Amino acid sequence: MSLIKIGVIGVGNMGSAHVELLDKGQIEGATLTAICSSNESRIEWVKKHTQGNVQIFRDVTSFFTQSGIDAVLIATPHYSHPDLAKEAFANGIHVLIEKPAGVYTKNVLEMNEAAKASNKVFAIMYNQRANPLYQKLRDLMQSGVLGEIKRINWIVTDTYRPQSYYDSSKWKATWKGEGGGVLLNQALHHLDILQWTTGHMPTRVLAASHFGKYHEIEVEDDVTAYVEYENGATGVFITSTGEAPGTNRFEIVGNCGKIVVENEEITFYQLTQPEREFNKSYKGGFGKPEWKEIHIPVKSENGNHAVIIQNWIDSIRNGTPLLSPGEDGVKALEIANAIYLSSWLNEEMELPVDPDRYFEKLQEKIDTSTFVKKHVSNTTLNVKGTH
């Protein structure tokens, strides 16, 4: 099969990294054919950092209709993802979008329908799904060794960002430009892993978000969310970009023990007898189930963007199952939208939230915003610090 001709739209922090991967031939079966950007400085960067045979487009319609690409990698600001994906599908082009799938589920659901109708390969850059750490965790959960889930706790505060990160562009950390803060930029990966590894979506959310608590921004940089599941299990999800040193500790408690993911390691505290069974049978008063501590070896890898791109190309060429189907992008976004709406209204939310209601409230945030950035550097960040 001939090489898949790839176009990249958006050549900012992540887009430029994807351009380099493709241009250097690090993705088997694919070739970088074209880029689309309205930023002249980024266009000059492409000219200097590629081999010179890449077509340059400044107009989206021309990019999709005249470049001859088979597939597109979309790495533009959040709001544009669904519309660009739909235009690509309409032109018979395969799509890989950067996360988030969008800012609100209303148009993301429309994008998913367009993807289904197009019969094209649609993926999303949830690169943590390619991390062996979380793949192993998912295997454990699917095997049933933990039994029925009782409680989930995830503290994700190792996502620290200084003010200069938010000052790197006019659109960053605003409701109009980005549509959210830590939930959409850093913790969306974790919200995806939360449901992907456990196989369960929360049914209710009650959240408290703090907006501009640690930074001069109008969106959230500190979140605590309480969640409930259909089987009665509960959970707490905490994230922030204003704490140092941070923590990344994921605990899942089930009827047969507890799994802890921390410091790039998995530890399984396996009960010798299921807790519910012990509870009914034990007659000794203050006893508790015995357990054994099992350290599960796994080599964690955090930078897995190339794996997701390669998997997408393999799916286009050979029908390989996708690690991160684009349609799955709505799941973490549904949780995030529920957290936002609960925080704004100070109410418990049932999932999924009404897409029209969320869109209306988000639009109110945009229309009533009086926030003005004091300092904007307009610099391209180091790729390692973009999520």
What is the per-residue pLDDT across 227-257, written as a single tens digit (0 to 9) for each? 999 999 999 999 999 999 999 999 999 999 9
Question: Are residues 46 and 34 both part of a single domain?
Answer: yes
The pLDDT value recorded for residue 375 is: 82
The pLDDT value recorded for residue 385 is: 37
Is residue 355 assigned to a domain? Answer: yes
Question: Are residues 159 and 262 both part of a single domain?
Answer: yes
Residue 361 tokens read as 């409230």
CATH assignment of the domain containing 52: 3.40.50.720
Question: Are residues 337 and 191 both part of a single domain?
Answer: yes
Question: Are residues 253 and 265 both part of a single domain?
Answer: yes
- Residues facing residue 5 across a β-bridge: 31
CATH assignment of the domain containing 139: 3.30.360.10
Average pLDDT over residues 347-366: 97
DSSP, res 152: E
Run of H or E including 213: none
> What tens digit of pLDDT does each residue of 285-305 get?
899 999 999 999 998 877 689
Is residue 50 assigned to a domain? Answer: yes
pTM: predicted TM-score of the whole model, two decimal places: 0.94
Confidence of residue 383 (pLDDT cuts 50, 70, 90): very low
Confidence of residue 324 (pLDDT cuts 50, 70, 90): very high
Question: Are residues 14 and 57 both part of a single domain?
Answer: yes
The pLDDT value recorded for residue 168 is: 87
Question: Are residues 339 and 206 both part of a single domain?
Answer: yes
Question: Are residues 197 and 117 both part of a single domain?
Answer: no
Question: Are residues 242 and 117 both part of a single domain?
Answer: no
The pLDDT value recorded for residue 378 is: 64
Question: Are residues 117 and 222 both part of a single domain?
Answer: no
Is residue 379 assigned to a domain? Answer: no
The four Cα atoms 61, 63, 69, 75 give a dihedral, to 10 degrees, of: -100
Q: What are phi and psi of 252, to 5 degrees?
A: -125, 120
Look up the domain containing 294 and give its range. 129-301+332-367
Is residue 65 assigned to a domain? Answer: yes
Q: Distance of alpha carbon 52 from its chain centroid, rounded?
A: 32
Number of structural domains the chain divides into: 2
Residue 182 tokens read as 């830590």
| Sequence-distant contacts of 34-40: CB under 8 A, at least 24 apart | 34/5, 34/7, 34/8, 34/63, 34/67, 34/68, 34/69, 35/7, 35/8, 35/9, 35/11, 36/7, 36/8, 36/9, 36/10, 36/60, 36/63, 36/67, 37/9, 37/10, 37/11, 39/11, 39/12
Instruction: Provide the H-helix boundaries in the chain.
Output: 13-23, 40-49, 60-66, 81-90, 105-118, 132-143, 163-166, 182-185, 188-198, 275-281, 305-318, 329-345, 355-367
Average pLDDT over residues 209-224: 98
Question: Are residues 319 and 339 both part of a single domain?
Answer: no
83 compared with 384, residue with greater pLDDT: 83
Nearest partner of 80 among 127, 15, 33, 168, judged by Cα: 15
Is residue 384 assigned to a domain? Answer: no
Is residue 374 assigned to a domain? Answer: no
Question: Are residues 144 and 267 both part of a single domain?
Answer: yes
Is residue 383 assigned to a domain? Answer: no
| Percentage of the chain modeled with pLDDT above 90 | 91
The pLDDT value recorded for residue 301 is: 78
pLDDT at 224 over 90: yes
Question: Are residues 321 and 291 both part of a single domain?
Answer: no
Is residue 186 assigned to a domain? Answer: yes
